[in-house]
């Protein structure tokens, strides 16, 4: 009996030791990979800032490009990006949230719902260049919008729609079902429950998804290259049917299609710094809004 107990204890110790070794190995591997990713990101940002900080100034932000884009600033480029993303989100957020409400609150579980959700997730993974070609064929050519702010915004809205739907649906489903039951027990209708209880509670997640979607759209090049972007415009578009300049496409133009590529190298990196700052700022704003809303509506 003593030998059997001793053998069991020895086996447990050996097994525990092996488990601790494996766990320690994988934890160390995760730390190394995480640290490597952070270092890589830091090196990239440092490289971009080192090569572009010398052109950063108030004039660079507020002036249009001058002398074949070798001098001046990027004001029309910044405004074009803001106009594209703003109009895109004005189009996509109402459609995405309403679709998410239908899928989360009204649709019945079954084959049809699974098929719709699978289609949404599939569309979310489609390369952006495919949406760009779609926008070119439908909005620019078929509907005769031309290369315009409107065509680019609708194309971006279609591209980001699956993301907005999925994040909004997850936010709605994260609301405890007991909230709905309590509202219905008080005599509220289903729509009143959604409007007064579910939506306000899910709003932090919906807003976060919308802001992160805006940041994603701001950095897209392919869709606007086919539908909206202009090589050069002296100012802000005055109509929805005029082309616009945009930060990601402007970087591409300066780096590949300009007439003085080497002379514009600092402007390329300076424009990249502005784009990175814009995207990081949107991500930070999304985090702040989510944290504040969660504090207000903690459960």
What value does the mean pLDDT take over residues 122-142?
Answer: 90
Query: Band of the pLDDT at 9, cuts 50, 70, 90?
Result: low
Which range marks the domain in which residue 47 is found? 2-55
Residues 142 and 189 in one domain: yes
Structure tokens at 260: 């003085």
**What does the pLDDT read at residue 264?**
82
CATH number of the CATH domain containing 107: 1.10.3720.10
Residues 21 and 149 in one domain: no
Residues 50 and 122 in one domain: no
**What does the pLDDT read at residue 162?**
92
Q: Please check the confidence at residue 269 and state whether its pLDDT lies above 70.
A: yes
Q: Please check the confidence at residue 5 and state whether its pLDDT lies above 70.
A: no
Residues 84 and 140 in one domain: yes
What value does the mean pLDDT take over residues 251-262?
Answer: 79
Residues 82 and 128 in one domain: yes
Structure tokens at 215: 């940041």
- Choose the final residue of a domain: 55, 79, 98: 55
Question: For 183-231, what is each residue's pLDDT tens digit?
Answer: 888 888 888 898 888 888 888 888 888 888 888 888 888 899 999 988 8
Query: Band of the pLDDT at 130, cuts 50, 70, 90?
Result: very high
Query: Band of the pLDDT at 8, cuts 50, 70, 90?
Result: low
**What does the pLDDT read at residue 265?**
86
Residues 21 and 143 in one domain: no
Average pLDDT over the chain, rounded to an integer: 85
Residues 103 and 199 in one domain: yes
Residues 94 and 12 in one domain: no
Question: For 169-183, what is each residue's pLDDT tens digit?
Answer: 988 988 888 888 888
Alpha-carbon span 295 to 272, nearest angstrom: 35
Residues 181 and 287 in one domain: yes
Residues 97 and 242 in one domain: yes
Higher pLDDT, 82 or 292: 82
Residues 209 and 62 in one domain: yes
State what percent of residues in the chain have pLDDT above 90.
23
Q: What total number of domains does the chain contain?
A: 2
Angle at 167 between CA 161 and CA 169, to 5 degrees: 100
Q: Please check the confidence at residue 33 and state whether its pLDDT lies above 80.
A: yes
Residues 44 and 64 in one domain: no
**What does the pLDDT read at residue 51?**
87
Can you say how many angstroms the Cα of residue 285 is from the centroid of all Cα atoms in its chain?
13
């Amino acid at each position: 009996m003593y030998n059997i107990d001793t053998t069991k204890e020895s086996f447990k110790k050996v097994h525990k030791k092996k488990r601790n070794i494996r766990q320690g190995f994988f934890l160390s591997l995760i730390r190394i990979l995480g640290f490597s990713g952070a270092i890589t990101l830091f090196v990239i940002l440092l490289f971009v800032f080192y090569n572009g900080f010398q052109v950063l100034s108030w004039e660079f932000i507020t002036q249009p490009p001058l002398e074949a884009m070798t001098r001046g600033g990027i004001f029309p480029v910044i405004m074009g990006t803001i106009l594209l993303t703003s109009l895109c989100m004005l189009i996509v957020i109402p459609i995405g949230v309403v679709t998410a409400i239908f899928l989360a609150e009204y649709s019945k579980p079954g084959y049809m719902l699974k098929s719709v959700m699978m289609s949404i997730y599939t569309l979310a993974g489609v390369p952006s260049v495919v949406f760009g070609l779609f926008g070119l064929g439908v909005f620019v050519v078929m509907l005769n919008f031309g290369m315009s702010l409107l065509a680019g915004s609708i194309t971006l809205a279609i591209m980001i729609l699956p993301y907005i739907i999925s994040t909004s649906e997850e936010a709605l489903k994260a609301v405890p079902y007991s909230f709905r039951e309590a509202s219905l027990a008080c005599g509220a209708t289903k729509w009143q429950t959604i409007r007064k209880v579910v939506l306000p509670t899910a709003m932090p997640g919906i807003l976060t998804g919308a802001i992160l979607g805006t940041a994603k759209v701001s950095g897209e090049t392919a869709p606007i290259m086919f539908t909206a972007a202009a090589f050069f415009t002296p100012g802000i578009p005055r109509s929805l049917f005029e082309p616009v300049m945009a930060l990601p496409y402007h970087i591409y133009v300066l780096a590949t299609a300009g007439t003085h590529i080497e002379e514009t190298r600092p402007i390329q990196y300076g424009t990249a710094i502005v784009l990175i700052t814009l995207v990081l700022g949107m991500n930070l704003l999304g985090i702040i809004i989510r944290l504040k809303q969660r504090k207000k509506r903690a459960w």
